[in-house]
Structure 1
Amino acid sequence: MTADLTTALAAEPLISAHVSAETLVLTGRPLREEAGPGPRFGEDVWNMAAAYHLPNHHRGQSTIIFTTIEDPIWRLTAKEYAYSRLTKITEGCTRLPSVVTVSREFRELRKLFVFLASRYPGLRLRDLTDDTVLDAFLDHRVEGGRIKPEIQAQERGRVKWFLTLLFRTRESITYDRLERLPWDGRASKHVAGRRPQENSTQRIPPQVLAPYLRGALFYIRVASKDILAALAEQERINEPVGAANKSYKGAGRARLEEYIERRRREGRGLPKRPSDINLPHKYNRASDGGVNRKLIARLARIGENTVDHPALVELLRQAVAELGLEEGGMDTEISIDEETGRPWRPRFHSKSLLIETRMLLAACYVITAYLSGMRDSEAQSLKPGCHFTAASQDGIIERHKVRGKVFKGRQPVGDEDTWVVIEPVAQAVAVMETLTDCDRLFYRHGYRGTNDGIGNTINHLLNVFADRLAEVRPHDPIPVIDEKKWRFTTRQFRRTVAWHIAFQPFGVVAGKIQYKHVKVAMFEGYAGNSASGFPSEVESEQQLARTEHFLDQYEDFKAGVRVPPRLFEEFTRVRDELGDFPGRVVDTARLRAMLSNPARTYYPGILNDCYFEASTALCLSRRPSAEAEAAPVMNHCQPAKCPNSCVLPQHRPAIDNVIGEARDLLTIRPLTSLQKTALHQQIEQMRRMRDQAEEPAR
């Protein structure tokens, strides 16, 4: 240990040479209106939530507890590093990081300190003169933890970038700092390995997604009416009871007898006590026949303590012996599920109503987030009144729209933005507007401080909702995948809808909602270039779809299936270069890499595929700037004539349909000679295309 570090350890307390203890660490950042100035440098706990404006924020994400670092020099190093990142734009960055990012980097720095203290006692940051220790730290962080293999390269790159930032902030650190540029400044991909091209966020399998979405739509369209009616009933029965009705000898007993008589006339039992209700220690469960006394008191409009009098308890026991018990007990009737012909659940009591209210919130979130393509922060930014309608760009269709905020790539407080959505999203927003009683659409119902947002509890709620659907809709179960229940997260929605639009443009979302409709609405709203970035994500998924289709054609080629000349030449080149012949094992990653580049210009279609080459594309022949086109104009495709056209065996059913429809049209009377000639020409063109697909393999 060097002399200056020894001296520093003896000093009490340690003092930074760059920042005074009273300096506010959030100076210059926009803060929440209700927040104070934030923590000072000398404090050991920095709660920086005041400078974080995303609605899905959790306080722990922006809190740094420096006392978790025992070594006083390293504790000061961590403070100086965090302060530098909060107040200065570090080399290689374009803007200041968020407080959540700085908190995450602090946790990474703490892990580095723990690693050094346990593996290399006495070693300091300034002692790292080569990459040996940092290589060991990378291996420890990635391979020694719980990082999934498919994202280990990404994690290595992230940790490597943090270590580079630690070096670049060295001038702001007083005692122990990283003096050597890690890995001589080589890019992360060379140290950590190249990142996978495909988004690592999981897609929800279609067989899981379909019943989940059907359940969410059921809650919005059917269950919501009962839940909202029950909430209104609960508000009425929770109104204070007059003093005259609290006497068990007078009006209290009379009201209870009147209530029992009403139940008798309706042919209903008394409300059953929930099995998990908390009762006082001396409460005799058997004495009242198992009724929910608290609910009965509210429904009968008598005092809750009045109903506990022995004489009225005996009255309840006798009534139960005669009338029996009813599950739930509230008066709100339950709608019939058309798929089963039965009520979708028993009647409500206060606790089950709270549970179903939260499930309704989850359902509204699922439909809003999934069918709009919003990120979680964007969905949680929605407020009552966010929905409105406006004419489409062509002025013909009335579009549903919602206003919210975009945060990614924007100023810290977010920027106002508008999404074009479809009707189910508008229905979900309308339900939440009825449900909410504060200035946010999604908030934590039934918890203390009910105006708190759902924040990072939403992932848990999404999975609780899946469990609830298994109880409410056993006829439409969510299947398990690899013998496990699927775990839903908010990130999966945006990735999945982008994938479905790219791979299954006419697939059914749920009920009769088409992905094509979702795509049209989303892309009109984004106008193709929104900072929210959804069109680019769809394009990424479309590129993956083209690559997968191209790989399928290559496998068919190897199996001897006929392919058009251009594909034959490309696939032959790839096969010969790789030596991809029977009995040999080729590098799958290299094969994919070689095919992914030509796949960028390969466009699967219904009647044919297009292996696009602008110079020979007939679809561009009538366009003045054809040389600038980077993609085919599919509406102008001439599949029977264009040299870019690739007709494959899988296209035959669609071609046969076109031929059949043309023959049917020839039977219509009257047709002009020109019309008949055109139909005969179309039939002949389609026949030639079909014959191309049936030629022997080359």
Structure 2
Amino acid sequence: MSTIAHPGVPLSGTVPSPFAGADICGLADFVLPIGAARSVFEDDVWVFTQVIGIPAYVSKCARRLDFSGIINERWKTVAKEYIGAQMAPGHEAVRTLPYASRTVRVVNGLYAELLELVRWLNWLTAQGVTELGEVTEHHCKSFAQYRATHRPDGKKTHDRPSIRRAVELTITGLARYSELFTTDRYHPGLRPFAGQATSKPSGNANKTPPVADPTFQPLLGAALYLVQTLAPHLLRELDAKRRYVAHRASLPAARIDRGELEAVIRRHVEERRPFDRNVTWAKTRKWISKDDPLGKVNLYALAAEAGRWEISPSILESVRDVLEKAVDAVGIEEPFCRGADMVERADGQGEAPWSKPLSERGLRALTGVVKTASHVVIVALSGMRQSELREMNVGCRVPPIEAGPGLKRYKLASRVIKGKPLGGVPDEWVVIWEAYQAAEVAEQLLGPGAEIGDPLLTSPLDNDRFTLFRQWVNGPAGQALGLAPIPERQLTTRMLRRTLALEIAYHPGGLLAAKVQLKHLSVVTTEGYAARPGGAQAKFLAEVNAEEAERNKDLMLAEYRRYQQGEMPSGPGARDLISFFASVDGKLARATAEDPTVVGSDQEVRALLTEVAGGLHLGVANYCWFIDPSKALCLKLAGTPNATKPLAGMCDSARCPQATHHPCHRPVWAESVRTKQVFIGSIGRDHKTEKARLQADLDRDVQVLASIDAAAA
């Protein structure tokens, strides 16, 4: 490294690279099959397609690092040394660099950075820069601005902060590894972007946004409908298609005679059965012109019905008149999904055929849509990451475990990739039945040729698949089945994961897509954590708990502001809650008296409310302030006074001293009153005891409803 006589003078390149002749896979501790070709440092393309254990979500193109696009030959070596150093942070020439990363970068991350590196170096070449020592801060900022506002093809677009940050990280990366390079390097005095790239946005702006409810509800509703209602019919149709293909393959290479062909045509007419449509006439019957009306008939299907391979031109001409009349009588129709069974519409408005007649291409498209639906259900109801979803294989469904009479625990096997060594580590997710069923459908859609260990996903669950799914749901097929349209919004698996975390945290007693109970999702997530405390589900539960903490602070602040406006809570625990709010008022008043600049901002109030917010639990019809377990009525009834959480299933908020009712709970109590009034009115005179018991419950509900209204007024 001491070969430079003067800082900033380009290197001669006579000093060999520390990675010269190195086996790249050996450098990164990648394992290859015996006899597999290995890339060396001097190759312009490093190939990792045969690396054992490389994550399934890494695309094929990302498994090839291509340096050949760099125009300046000396900068190719710079790029190779930079990428190689990140693949081998423990190399003797790398570990002594003061600013080098100490963690191994994943291949797809290096692939994305190499793309930006190639663009950066070639942009410098286009600007007339021939030595990295000539690069200035102006060059760095200009290119970062250009990439943030222009696509790779040069077309101008809106400002993209994520692209700007990626470019800045790449440019500063060359500076951090500058001492390693043997052919060229930045001037030692250059510190691009003051030594660091643009920092990530702080606060909530850095969080993945959830899927908005107007999008999430129809998305998951449609996915569940396709998996539970359409999938069984589609699987039967796919099985029938496979049997037909096998039958065609077994036919003798013989042509049908006239008598057999006329018999087949006659059966179609007698049974009022349309002929199969031919969509590949140019490839199958070149001796029939495109304008010939018989060119639309699948002649191979006609021959197959008689157990023959094909129809000769002479035989066809001899029955042309008969066939044309038959086509006019019964018509031509797509070959698949004919006479589709009726199914209940998703909106409950009667029944509809599960599919219209489809061509082979249409059947493949529908299969792809149902595959996407099954993958959406798994992600949306388990919280799996994309990487964990891609590691699921055929056979991932762990046999159900009997957890009690009529109760089963369902698990899906996968691998954790994030933060783990190459290849990941085995893991299992405890899931609800709907996600388990979706995995079963996904396996069945792969066909009988799929073997244990084959990938469950043959392509990533990306924007293209979300778009095709949305188009089908919003199109004629989805609307005919009563599916709610899905708005055109961005969708990613990360957004689905965060949405699930928020739904569990904020609506534990509600419904998800009107079918899946959130409390079940919360229970299985907790069970998954208990089963594998260090697994991926534990991290998801941590995200849920973090969202619950934020939720509690927000709810506490909202109730405190209502208290300040004179809207009081009701219920047995209302007095204690009001006293606590009064104490917060007192603390704020004292703080203001001591320092007039202190203002009761939301942030300051949230800090004062935190001690009680930690004990808040959401019930369906009340808030539970689980501050003192010894006072919890549910724990007394269950005989578990030392429990750390309330037993929501045994909650009697009308009597528990730690329960409060608020205006947001009024609709639940009002519906309970209405339902009980109707039910009591339907009870006969002979059931006096039952009627008296229900009347007591109704009186209690009416009293709670009145207290909510009185407190709010």
Q: Offset of 1:433 from its aligned partner?
A: 3.1
Counterpart for residue 258 of structure 1:
263
Q: 1:473 aligns with which of 475, 478, 482?
A: 478
1:209-608 to structure 2, matched below 5 A, reads 209-238=216-245, 239-240=247-248, 246-247=254-255, 251-274=256-279, 283-288=289-294, 290-304=296-310, 306=312, 310-311=316-317, 314=320, 317-330=323-336, 333-339=339-345, 340-391=350-401, 397-436=407-446, 437-439=449-451, 454-456=458-460, 458-469=462-473, 470-475=475-480, 476-479=482-485, 481=487, 485-510=488-513, 512-527=515-530, 529-532=533-536, 533-550=539-556, 552-553=558-559, 556=562, 561-562=567-568, 564-567=578-581, 570=584, 591=602, 595=606, 598=609, 601=614, 603=616, 605-606=618-619, 608=622
Indicate how the Cα distance of structure 1 residues 287 and 138 shifts in structure 2: closer, same or farther if over 3 A, else same: closer
**Aligned partners of 2:676 and 2:248: how far apart in 1?**
76
Counterpart for residue 74 of structure 1:
75
Instruction: Kindly indicate whether the alpha-carbon contact (under 8 Å) linking 1:421 and 1:518 is maintained by their aligned counterparts in 2.
Output: yes
Instruction: Kindly indicate whether the alpha-carbon contact (under 8 Å) linking 2:382 and 2:435 is maintained by their aligned counterparts in 1.
Output: yes
Instruction: Kindly indicate whether the alpha-carbon contact (under 8 Å) linking 1:25 and 1:87 is maintained by their aligned counterparts in 2.
Output: no
Counterpart for residue 101 of structure 1:
109
Q: How many residues align?
A: 650
Instruction: Kindly indicate whether the alpha-carbon contact (under 8 Å) linking 1:659 and 1:683 is maintained by their aligned counterparts in 2.
Output: no
Q: Offset of 1:375 from its aligned partner?
A: 1.9
Q: Which amino acid aligns with 2:511?
A: V
Q: Which whole-Å deviations, capped at 9, do the CAs of 1:614-655 have from their partners, x for residues lacking one?
A: 8x99559999xxxxx998657699979999876544345667
Counterpart for residue 50 of structure 1:
50
**Aligned partners of 2:102 and 2:518: how far apart in 1?**
37
Indicate how the Cα distance of structure 1 residues 125 and 685 shifts in structure 2: closer, same or farther if over 3 A, else same: farther
What is the RMSD computed on CA atoms of the aligned residues?
Answer: 5.0
| 1:40 aligned onto 2:77 | no
**Aligned partners of 1:422 and 1:558: how far apart in 2?**
43
Indicate how the Cα distance of structure 1 residues 224 and 294 shifts in structure 2: closer, same or farther if over 3 A, else same: farther
Q: Which whole-Å deviations, capped at 9, do the CAs of 1:57-102 have from their partners, x for residues lacking one?
A: 2112232221222122322111100111111256675531111122
Counterpart for residue 626 of structure 1:
none
Counterpart for residue 132 of structure 2:
124
Counterpart for residue 573 of structure 2:
none
Q: Using the TM superposition, name which of 471-480 and 633-642 deviates more.
A: 633-642
**Aligned partners of 1:229 and 1:642: how far apart in 2?**
54
Indicate how the Cα distance of structure 1 residues 253 and 544 shifts in structure 2: closer, same or farther if over 3 A, else same: farther
Secondary structure in 2 matching 1:354: helix
Indicate how the Cα distance of structure 1 residues 124 and 611 shifts in structure 2: closer, same or farther if over 3 A, else same: farther
Q: Offset of 1:305 from its aligned partner?
A: 5.8
Counterpart for residue 448 of structure 1:
none
Instruction: Kindly indicate whether the alpha-carbon contact (under 8 Å) linking 1:327 and 1:346 is maintained by their aligned counterparts in 2.
Output: no
Secondary structure in 1 matching 2:296: coil
**Aligned partners of 1:593 and 1:307: how far apart in 2?**
88
Counterpart for residue 650 of structure 1:
664
Q: Which whole-Å deviations, capped at 9, do the CAs of 1:172-198 have from their partners, x for residues lacking one?
A: 22133354695899887xx52543336
**Aligned partners of 1:432 and 1:319: how far apart in 2?**
44
Instruction: Kindly indicate whether the alpha-carbon contact (under 8 Å) linking 1:57 and 1:456 is maintained by their aligned counterparts in 2.
Output: no
Indicate how the Cα distance of structure 1 residues 321 and 531 shifts in structure 2: closer, same or farther if over 3 A, else same: closer
**Aligned partners of 2:369 and 2:712: how far apart in 1?**
57
**Aligned partners of 2:280 and 2:588: how far apart in 1?**
68
**Aligned partners of 1:297 and 1:219: how far apart in 2?**
35
Q: Offset of 1:44 from its aligned partner?
A: 1.0
**Which residues of structure 1 form unaligned runs of 5+?**
445-452, 579-585, 624-628
Q: Which whole-Å deviations, capped at 9, do the CAs of 1:274-300 have from their partners, x for residues lacking one?
A: 599877777333331732334434444
**Aligned partners of 2:386 and 2:261: how far apart in 1?**
49
**Which residues of structure 2 form unaligned runs of 5+?**
570-577, 593-598, 637-641
Q: Offset of 1:526 from its aligned partner?
A: 3.1
Instruction: Kindly indicate whether the alpha-carbon contact (under 8 Å) linking 2:401 and 2:409 is maintained by their aligned counterparts in 1.
Output: yes
Question: Normalising to structure 2: TM-score of the pair?
Answer: 0.74
**Aligned partners of 1:225 and 1:206: how far apart in 2?**
28
Q: Offset of 1:490 from its aligned partner?
A: 2.8
Instruction: Kindly indicate whether the alpha-carbon contact (under 8 Å) linking 1:216 and 1:364 is maintained by their aligned counterparts in 2.
Output: yes
Q: Using the TM superposition, name which of 315-324 and 335-344 deviates more.
A: 315-324
Secondary structure in 2 matching 1:246: coil
**Aligned partners of 2:466 and 2:518: how far apart in 1?**
22
Q: Offset of 1:45 from its aligned partner?
A: 1.5
Indicate how the Cα distance of structure 1 residues 220 and 309 shifts in structure 2: closer, same or farther if over 3 A, else same: farther
Indicate how the Cα distance of structure 1 residues 556 and 49 shifts in structure 2: closer, same or farther if over 3 A, else same: farther
1:615-694 to structure 2, matched below 5 A, reads 618=631, 633=646, 648-651=662-665, 690=707, 694=711
Q: Using the TM superposition, name which of 211-220 and 365-374 deviates more.
A: 211-220
Q: Offset of 1:362 from its aligned partner?
A: 1.8
Instruction: Kindly indicate whether the alpha-carbon contact (under 8 Å) linking 2:393 and 2:452 is maintained by their aligned counterparts in 1.
Output: yes
Q: Which amino acid aligns with 2:367?
A: T
Secondary structure in 1 matching 2:317: helix
Secondary structure in 2 matching 1:419: strand
Residue identity over aligned pairs, in percent, reads 20
Q: Which amino acid aligns with 1:360?
A: V
